[in-house]
Structure 1
Amino acid sequence: MISSRQQRLLKQLMEARQYIPLQQLADEYDISLRTVRHDLLQLEDWLRQHDVVLERSRSAGVYLQLDSQQSESLAIQMRERPIYMDAKQRITLLLKQLLQKTNLSMGEMLAEFEISKNTLLLDLSDIKVWLEQRRLTLQKERGTLSIDGSEQLKRSAYLELLRAEVTDDKLLGYMLSQPSEDKLSIVPWNVWFKSSDAMMLFDSIQHLEQLLGIQLTDAGYSTLTLHLLMAMERLKHAHAIEMDLELLHELETQHVYQVIQAEVVPAVEHHFQVKLPASEIGYITQHVLGAQKQNVPADEELYIGLAKQIVSRTEKALGHRLQMIEQIVQGLVIHLKPAVYRAKFDLQSKNPLLDQLKIQYGSFLTLLEQIVNEVMEPISVTFDLDEVGYIMLHIGSGIVPHVAQIRKRVAIVCGSGFGTSAIIKRRLSDICPQVDVVNNYSYKESRDITLNDADAVLTTIDIGHPIPVPWLKVSPLLTSKDQQEIAAFLGVTIMEEAGTATTIQTVNDIFRVVERNADIHNRNKLLEELLFLIQGGHLQGPEYTNRLSDLLPCTSIRLQLDSMDWESAIQMGCQLLSERSLSGLNYEERLVEMIDSNIHSFIIHDGVAFPHANMPGDIRQTGFSLVTFREPISFGPLAHPVWLIITLAAVDKEQHVGALSTLLDALNDEMFMTDLQQSSNSYDIWRSFREKEEL
């Protein structure tokens, strides 16, 4: 007999409709190509005994072409227990049996799986962790095992195991296929169900749809079928079915319950030779109510009212009206009825789009969760974020044109004072222009922050008490890593191309704070290390970085130029770079485009512009150019008065850091800036930079 992995491999080959590359098998099973070839050789020998040929292709891989008789024969063989079973599959089967039966003897398990007591204890240790993650407890008493927890949680755990082996698409594909199409290969070796049982239940569900005049979703079909298969197994093993009596009485009044009891239950009991208790009919009713895809009659005022309240409160929060309100309300009404049942009966499921929705809508998704649950409070229903995500899809259809205009309100929590808060605020305004810092709070004051005050909180310390506003811990310097996390947290885009300019501004702010409160022994070294730290580097910096006097020669310094328009000024700065073969025309055009579109933070000091762009593919070497004007020129569409333009071309974030530290030192030196504004001698300026480097 083949091993369990080889059985899984065979099952995959039986389901495939084309060749499977060997590398794909190696990746999926996390084994080497050599092991794949070994498994295929053993599998090939085994298949030959059953008159089946495994087709091979050097370029395409392996393929199994079967007629219906061969497929059925192999499926029967696969129901046999393999000689060797890996721990993962053994644990899965142990969990299945534990969830099916009320009690399970350890002695029986040792005999059935032919394993040692130590191996079983190791497996049970893993099983205990798996169950605890699903709010269930493994109980062991006098050699007997059982699972403690609610019936709903046990069913959810069982379905999770089942879905890992039988996915929705495979089950529906099997159920909806023509009789001539053989798809028995979906049945795994550890027989979760018989195909005839599944087909009987599927037919019963379709009949129920006709009787009720409803339509279930595809996921509803498979979920209800799998639930019923699981329930039948548990009933066969005399497992007690329990349900809250108050909830059961409420379900018994539903028309759906009564139809199931009268039309479906007799056929199911006859086929499976079991007796369905009222609580089991209640669970079936829950699934049907939560899986409907139907048009809600216009007279269902409750859901229409709920939908309108959600829309109205959302518009108030946004500050503008939604588009296509009638369609949004209609969509919400259709969605809300089964959603309310899902929440009421604890059937809410994971939303596969939730991560994308968090990125697209950021903190607004959290705000919508608050709005929706405030609306739902009078009917005692609470939606989790996954369900709110589905509602967000409806709301989003009306706010798509405005999403980019929704500004994020951010509060800053800092335990070290308002100086640090000011640095973060300045940095945020440069890298996230769509973010408004609405207030600063101390740690103690953070208890009072609500969603009315801010959409999100950025904090320099961990917040140990609960607050209703989502928060993210960041460094006061907002490093590159912080910026990436902020972008994902707030759902905003970071202005990366303005990075060096904003770094200079931030370093300037930090430097002034340090200068006011401490003696500085080495100004250049401090500036250099701050630059490295903020740009995501390490405190030591590189062993050697280019000096400003190396990257800014006298020939690239032009002083006391006549007034000109800002585009000509950019052209002049770039020309000085291109004369040294550092950059080309594309770089100049990119800078002009950024300034003209006002997507930059080039103004780093009063009267000083620092144009640069992240275009490493168009930069041959790192270097600077510097030009001054007798009278300030109007820089960009906003006409900033600028008398000094320093243009940077950089191949990376490191080579110019040492030079920037000297430049920052110079910009903070009032005497030097006065000399620079008045000087017409390029060599004198270059020599001043050189002297600062030698300090």
Structure 2
Amino acid sequence: MISLTKRQMDILKQLLGQADYINVKQLAELYEVSERTIRYDLDFIESFLKEYDVTLIRKPGKGIYLEISPEKTSRIINELLQLNHYVVTKKDLIYMLSIQILLEQNTTLESLGETFQISKNRVFQYMENVEELFNQYGVKVEKKPSRGISPVGNELDIRNAFASLFNEAITLSALSKQYIFQQFDEELLHLSKRFTKDFENHLSIQFSDDSLDELYLILCFQHTRLQRGYIADYPFVEKKEFLKTKDFQQLKEIYQSIFHITLEDDEVVYLLKQVKGAKVSVYPIGDVPFSKQEDAYQITYLFATEVEKRLGINFKQDLEFMNGLMVHLQVALHRLFNHQKIENPLTEQVKYKYRFIFEITRKALLKIEELYHFQLPEEEIAYIAMHLGASYERHSFSGYMPTALVVCGSGLATSSLLATRLKIMLPELKAFGPISMSNLDQYMDQEFDFIISTVPLTIKDYEVVVVNPLLEPEELMTLKKLVFKKTYQKQMDELIRTELPLKDYHELGDLIPMNHIQLHGDVDSWRNAIRLASQSLIENGFITNQYTHAMIRAVEELGPYMVFIPEVAIVHASSKEGVLKDGASLLALDKPIPFGDSEKVMVQLIFVICSTMSESDLFIQLVQILEENNNLEILKSSKRIQEILKLNNETAR
């Protein structure tokens, strides 16, 4: 078996997901290596694929393409998940060592070296990195000749470190879920699944697939710690609110019936906190799982009131929105106040594709954050924006749906948005679900034509169409010959007409200084256009080259969604990708150029926006100016920078 490096594996995954040719230059830019290195990597990939009887097509002038069947694609993806098919990187090994130390409690350098088939000296070299990871969660690494290596700290910190590290490792693709599951006994894993299923039945809910996996691992680790005599301990004032609840007693009884162990009260509280922090994908309409939280209800009501002022829609009448957001907020508030990290893999996509919905959500939440004295992370704002976007689209479109089973492995917000997008884009299709993968068997006796899933599935006698929860353009083209961009444009046009969140008067010169504006630009590609537009921001210390790479990568991965005003690209990326100061720049080209690889959208004006935080109003202020009267035509035809500095949102006066 040919071994692949991490980069070669990533390139192969990229090729497996490509619907068309991609050239060596694009791959070199994407992975920030030379074209010669990419060709060298492709030689290894080609040898690797021969073992699967798959041809790597390399055509001069066109690029690289995989000639492969869906069955072989699925097989190779599954194979790549196994760690022994590529060289373990330093990052991978650090996470593997960290999790192993937590699992074993007492181990040695020799034992760790033997487990991972590396030298004792190499383990020693990486221990400093392991200690840095542990320190983030308040856990120390104790090294004693008599006891070896042990994690030391508060029991709750140690458990939090385990949960955080395996989530972080999976998110960074350092480890697979399969690898972590394999560290536990199969019978223990089976009992954990039984417990979770019984608790779901008790509450008449379904946890999302991601949350189920997380709960299984947390249960296994809790049981392992209990077997070694390590018990969680909470102050009485913190646990008293749980002790007399029905859920507390029911959880304790379910655990005892399955594991044949009577949990201490503190351990029941620990477990109840974990299930309350898990994302829910299905819940009884009109009911909120667990004890009803007044804060979640009040925030939902206040948020619905605030966005109604901006969009003119009575969202409080949308029970699906109100109940869904209330359930989500109950989980989110629990995680927020218990210092559990909120992760949203769709944050950047929501900010790009639903920028106005995101901004409306952000501004509506400002008053709520001030009232409740907390600050929501971008990831949570994006989740709430997904709920709002789903409700907004239900009010904006209608249609009956015929027959497909929708399987969604993520949480309630993602499921809700996916279901709504399908209703909008495929009005002739009736969708059953969304359901989680764990409940798929229960629906196999239903009559439906095919399956739409957010995760790869192989179901006998059924075609499975794998989609992103936000439905990428190529996925929509597969389901129906409908261009996503036109629908997106329709939504954005309506939002721009109805949403006026900022009424202050602004001139273009207030937003973009003269030395950040370039006219008469001449470039040969959209990538070079972004680089040229970013140049003044880099030279003046607003961003680093990392931000430029991130913007280019966003267009490659998401398509030209930032082109929602004709011939204008408002390009941006995450504030975490090399933003030093808030700012903006403008590049005006002499003639339009194609923007993006897959869709030939023409662009003449390229704006780059950088913000150190998500709270910037610059995006909306800029759009208001661009939407005003003849400002766009003036920008395209101007010969001198002074002519455009006074362009403004005149109606705000």
Q: Which has the larger radius of gyration?
A: 1
